[in-house]
Structure 1
């Protein structure tokens, strides 16, 4: 995985960061299930890209929400479509409907922070990045010191294993995505599977944070959540079926 504190400096980027990207269209694909409490913030964080000349299409792919997710999506001028449940299935469905030159896969509880739009514009300006994937730096939306330790652990996982979380978002060229076969219709581990096909050397880590909800960590406990994530990843590498891994991931806390 390539790291860059200056996205113009390390991997064939032009130096000018304030340029506008004319004529490019970005499809943002957001899978949802009862995401009413977070969806607005996720969508609002995308608006700055329009000032860079980027046309944005937002596709919310819902798996049966019973809250106000649909209303919020439509109020934000997003396309709202339904899908069978399962994040891989939802992401796959959204990509099929997307018309943009580039895709951004984003979780509904994740907010992109200031500077993400510049990273996107510069990343997509160079032809060689059409066969790379870009991800953001993982961050949790809490001041708890334990969250900082989790963030450091994720940074290690990014740098040494080349395995970013889906919470970090993924920017990828539409043609490259399709050539790779896209997301598999899995309920879990679909993010790991796709980034492994992209390849560690072709994943670029932006020095811009994707701030995601710490709810799972605070409700379940940091140690238990970290352990569960590790177990799920280990089972994936042992070739256990994603459906079985998902049952472990979603098992209620005693």
Structure 2
């Protein structure tokens, strides 16, 4: 099945050079790669177009951007990739194998978080364990799904936060996720900029409040 890689971006000029270099070989080998810009004011759009990739404009917000990207792609399988996340070697084959039977209709990779703080390794390990136990995936884990199933559940919910968790809940009604043990690598900049322990506590509090039914708009303001 042809794979469409959808990358939401918003002022990502700092990380784009490495990302573009990594995605070019995948594009040359038949993957469809689409960037969805949420209104960047830096050089992001110019850099993407200069590398030869297509950019689709969208209203800001990851959920809206990823839905807009899915609507503009033609692959039978969709991979949603954050700009600061690096796919492992052989990622396309991993996805193909994970979805080769009816047992799994969607999935995600294990994640390793890069950075200076030792706790980032523990954070990534706990994210992977939690995901295997709960069946809930996060955007940092490079979620992938067949187009038919993505369309069947209505895509990402139009909400400013926790869109990955809500999509996982919808997809769980159809199958458990395929958990690919090969790691994607994602930047720990969010944790290190805000403080690793502070960010860990914030994310746990936000998730707990989300499960309790606190309106997602309030959680998004707390996140910001």
In the alignment, structure 2 segments of 5+ residues that lack a partner are: none
Output the TM-score relative to the length of structure 1: 0.81
After TM superposition, what 4+ stretches of structure 1 lie above 6 angstroms from structure 2?
none
Q: Quote the Cα distance in structure 1 between the aligned partners of 2:21 and 2:146.
A: 23
Q: Quote the Cα distance in structure 2 between the aligned partners of 1:187 and 1:39.
A: 23
Superposed, 1:1-254 pairs within 5 Å as: 24-49=1-26, 55-124=30-99, 126-128=100-102, 132-199=105-172, 202-250=176-224
Equivalent position SS for 1:247: helix
Asked whether the 8 Å contact 1:45–1:113 carries over to 2, the reply is no
Asked whether the 8 Å contact 1:42–1:112 carries over to 2, the reply is no
Q: Quote the Cα distance in structure 1 between the aligned partners of 2:15 and 2:199.
A: 21
Equivalent position SS for 2:31: strand
Q: Quote the Cα distance in structure 2 between the aligned partners of 1:152 and 1:77.
A: 36
Bigger mean CA offset, 143-152 vs 202-211: 143-152
Asked whether the 8 Å contact 2:113–2:188 carries over to 1, the reply is yes
Superposition RMSD on alpha carbons, in Å?
Answer: 1.9
1:19-75 C-alpha deviation (Å, 9 max, x unpaired): xxxxx3211111111011112323433345468xx5211111111111111012112
Number of residue pairs matched?
223
Output the TM-score relative to the length of structure 2: 0.92
How much does 1:202 deviate? 1.7
Aligned position for 1:8: none
How much does 1:107 deviate? 0.6
Larger radius of gyration: 1
